[in-house]
Structure 1
Amino acid sequence: MTGPVDYAVTAFLPIAVNAVLQMVDMKSITANYASETILLLLGASILTASWEQTGLDKRIAIRFLNLIGSNLKKQVVFWFLLSAILSSVLPNAVVCATITPIAVSMLNYIGERDVASSRIASKILLTIAYAAGVGGLASPLGGAMNLVVIDYIQQITGSEYIYLDWVVRFFPIMILLFVSNILFLIRDVDKSEDLGASNEYFANELKKMDKMSFEEKVSLALFLIATVLAFARQAYQNILPGLKPAYVFLTCAIIAFFITDTSGNRLLMWKSVQTKIIWELIYVFAGGLAAGTLINDSGAAVAIGNAVSQMGLKGGLVTVFVIMCFTLVLSDVTSNTATAAVAVPIVVSIIQGIGENPLPYIYVATVGVNLSYCFPTSIRAIPVGYGLQPKYMLKEGLKLSAIVIVLMTVSCYFLFAR
């Protein structure tokens, strides 16, 4: 948060700390720096590296600006809804990794290249990260953390859990989260605030553009193929079980190096590509994963859970509040999936210990597991890798976390635990 050195340098601290203190097996720490999500980010970065040299980034930017308009409130609402809806059926990391570069291209076109010093760029990138996290709660397909929860529910009930029940049960929660998050994000945006140019200007710019070149079409096609295959994973996972979204993006990135333009020149050359890849993004994301591994594998997360279990909870509103705080804070410092794996059994143990039905409180924990706003861990490392300042994320995240904890405590109590 204080940024004494570059974020990429900070990202290697888990390795250094563990080397000195030997808290966990070092292999479990270093594995985070070559995880599937890291390869996904690398593949997406390579594919988008060709956008600038082909002019595709400008075309995409003008298209989106012409479609949405330049009003900042409309921009925030659009990026939030797009990211949240996609993340309801797709892994949050995939959504954030594919949507963010598109938004960055638009921001670069209007001159907002320095995200750290740009209020507009910071707000839009933060919007995408927050929405990708919130949207994951809408369906069991929104992330592995939801599947962990379902596994525990099935163990307790002894019967198969129907996915439609999840959607119906959490629908009121999703409405509250969508409204509260959007209102928070646009609270300080003036009605007339825009991205620096009129809608007519972007419409004229679009008319001036030539037809898409072969190079642009190839750059766009490879990215779209990778994105569609990542989104349609369920359709072919039985045929190609190893072709997960991370490897789809990496495979398409490799193919891109074989493509030549109409003059016979390579579309991508490693010497130029490596200068366009945002290595800081990759290292910051990996560092967040590694920090989460330290917290979980060292037993710190379980120790926190044990402390919660000793609070003498007896059900009701106070218990809902404690569970909400516990899960939301833990998911902020580790990953959502790791939090689900640690928190749900603890919640079950506490509630069964006081003779109550654990299912309503599992649903409460599920809401907290899916929400995290403050720290650049998990998908929130992606906007930081593009230049968003962690202290800005923390400042906004603390405010929104406080609002969400109160709102979700009250709503979950009346919907689930009363």
Structure 2
Amino acid sequence: MRNYKRLIHLLLGPVLFLLACFLLPHAVLPTFAERAAVGTVFWMAYWWVTGPVDYAVTAFLPIAINAVVPMAEMKAIISNYADETILLLLGASIITVLWENTGLDKRIAITFLRLIGNSLRMQLVFWFALSMVLSAVLPNAVVCATITPIAVSMLKYIGMDDVKNSKTASKILLTIAYATGLGGLASPLGGAMNLVTVEYIQQLTGKEYMYSSWVIRFLPVMLILMLINVVFILRDVKKTDLLGGSSEYFAEQYRKLPKMSFEEKSALVLFVVATGLAFTRQLYQDILPGLKPAYVFIICAIIAFLFTNKEGKRIMVWKQVQGKIVWDLMYIFAGGLALGSLINATGVAKALGEVISSLDMKGGFVTILIILTATLLLSDVTSNTATAAVAIPLVISITQGCGLNPIPYIYVASIGVNLSYMLPTSIRAIPVGYGLEPKYMFREGWKISLIIILVMSIICTLLLKYWSAFSTV
């Protein structure tokens, strides 16, 4: 980036912040703190998309701005930078360094390329299906944090380690992020945001909500969303687009691999144990309530430093490892969380709900369109769980106030709560940490967001009108 362009982008960030502080309608956002929170969103989004500074640097803006323009308790903002998920990402990053130090990353890459093939289309469909299925029953952050490094290992092996300048590598990482977010919608176990929604439904109806009911009612929605996502991802991929060499080449490379060493086996076992314990927490949470997925990965990361090779030398030494840890992804993830804290602490989300409630909605297509748009955009700047906690009770009160059955509109809101595509917040910070450009994410994200809002508004309107189950629990 030329110096004058960079200077313009640097200056436009704070300019957008100031414009928001003074020009946003005071009737909607009456306090300066609310307008400053929205201004912070504009500033961070602009710098993330244009990139005049490192993405991780932009992630610290909530602290810096809040110190100068108090919007929320600083402790509440800073705590996001030591969130449990940050520890999970740190542990996962250390374990993947162990792969590199033992050579396991090369073995994994060759194995995947041999089994799945070198067709880019097949690769994209594979990563999409794997990520979506896992995130249907497991925390999205855990799935994205474990699947992304595997894909990155494969990409490094075939010479696509510069994700920023590789459209193919960027598309694979973006596919994993899309699929992980979508998979969370498939069942209440897909994330805390769905459990929040279930709790509100139970309070509303006064009876237990069966998880199977969620799966049945969202099945047609999931099928259409899967189709939209896959078609969108593959739209500019030719049948002839390949990853690296031919299938025969990767088969030959696999045959040339030496016997798996003890060090590789140790690294693989450690990863499997960490992932397995994170994915099966419900089986032991009563016995070990403190052993959450984040702490499982930290423990396994500590164990990684205990391994030695045949000569008795340590495989992992902190001085050497710290240069390979993907620090960016942790700070970017934390910055997104901190931004969400500002939005919620200042009451911006509540103010948005009040604006929506004043629109005198009558139900049907327009109401569905407004709810979908508001929840999807809100979940792009704050966490999915926070969006659910704010949006679902508002949807209930608005629809009841209009004399409507709130159940189908809660389902509609859940779609927007789970899906977000444009900014490197929440799980989308993970592929950005591995090199995916936020500019590319935004450019692709607004397109698919628009498609999903329009298509889902039509589909949900039809379900509301012609499928009675969509209006029941």
When normalised by structure 2's length, the TM-score is: 0.88
Give the aligned residue type for 1:213. S
Q: Distance in 1 between matches of 2:194 and 2:101?
A: 40
1:118 is matched with which residue? 166
Name the structure 2 match of 1:346: 394
Q: Is 1:287 paired with 2:335?
A: yes
1:36-75 matched pairs, under 5 angstroms: 36-75=84-123
- Match status 1:298 vs 2:346: yes
Which of the numbers 407, 424, 429 marks the counterpart of 1:376?
Answer: 424
Note the C-alpha offset of 1:265: 1.1
Alignment of 1:170-319 (within 5 A): 170-319=218-367
What's 1:157 paired with? 205
Could you tell me whether the CA contact under 8 Å between 1:324 and 1:405 is conserved in 2? yes
Q: Distance in 2 between matches of 1:417 and 1:337?
A: 29
- Report the AA paired with residue 358 of structure 2: Q
User: What's the CA shift for 1:416?
Assistant: 3.3
Q: In structure 2, how many angstroms separate the alpha carbons of the residues matched to 1:306 and 1:87? A: 33
Is 1:132–2:180 an aligned residue pair? Answer: yes
Q: 2:299 and 2:429 mapped to 1: Cα distance?
A: 24
Segments of structure 1 that go 5 or more residues without pairing to the other structure are: none
Q: Which amino acid aligns with 1:240?
A: L
- Counterpart of 2:57 in structure 1 is 9
Question: TM-score, with normalisation over the residues of structure 1?
Answer: 0.99
Following superposition of structure 1 onto structure 2, how do residues 396-411 of structure 1 map, counting pairs within 5 Å? 396-411=444-459
Displacement of 1:256 in angstroms is 1.2
Distance 1:272 1:217 in 2: 21
Q: CA RMSD in A?
A: 0.8
Q: Deviations over 1:1-48 (max 9, x none)?
A: 111101111110000011111100001100010000000000000111
The answer as to 2:68 corresponding to 1:20 is yes
* Distance change >3 Å, CA 238–CA 257, structure 1 → 2: same
- Cα displacement (A) at 1:196: 2.0
Partner residue, 2:81: 33
Between 302-311 and 107-116, the greater mean CA deviation after superposition: 302-311
State yes or no: 1:99 paired with 2:162.
no
User: Displacement, 1:93?
Assistant: 0.4
Extract structure 1 runs of 4+ deviating beyond 3 A. none
Number of the residue aligned with 2:441: 393
Of the three residues 74, 81, 99, the one matched with 2:129 is: 81
Give the 3 Å change call, closer, same or farther, for CA 94–362 of structure 1 in structure 2: same
Distance 2:460 2:66 in 1: 39
Aligned pair count reads: 418
Q: State how far apart, in whole Å, the 1-side matches of 2:341 and 2:425 are.
A: 11
Give the superposition deviation at 1:348.
Answer: 0.6
Partner Cα separation in structure 2 for residue 11 and residue 368 of structure 1: 24
Q: Letter of the aligned partner of 1:309 in structure 2? A: S
**Structure 1 position 358, deviation (Å):** 0.6
1:357 positional shift: 1.0
SS in 2 for 1:372: coil
- Distance, in Å, in 1 between the alignment partners of 2:429 and 2:211 is 30
> 1:276 aligns to what SS in structure 2?
coil
Partners of 1:260 and 1:58 lie apart in 2 by 20
Q: Helix, strand or coil for the counterpart of 2:455?
A: helix
3-state SS of 2:50 partner:
coil
Identity %: 66
Contact map agreement 2:101 2:316 (CA 8 A) in 1:
no
Contact 1:364–1:416 (Cα < 8 Å) also in 2: no
Amino acid of the structure 2 residue aligned with 1:353: G
Shift in Å at residue 411 of structure 1? 1.1
Check whether the contact 1:363–1:416 (CA below 8 A) recurs between aligned residues.
no
Among 142, 146, 160, which residue is 2:190 paired with?
142
Checking the alignment, whether the CA contact within 8 Å between 1:83 and 1:95 is kept in structure 2 is yes
Contact 1:373 1:394 in 2 (8 A): yes
Kindly indicate whether the alpha-carbon contact (under 8 Å) linking 2:135 and 2:190 is maintained by their aligned counterparts in 1.
yes
* 1:128 CA drift (Å): 0.2
Contact 1:361 1:416 in 2 (8 A): no
TM superposition shift of 1:417: 5.8
Cα separation, 1, equivalents of 2:138 and 2:360: 38
- Rounded to whole Å, the distance in 1 between the matches of 2:123 and 2:336 is 28
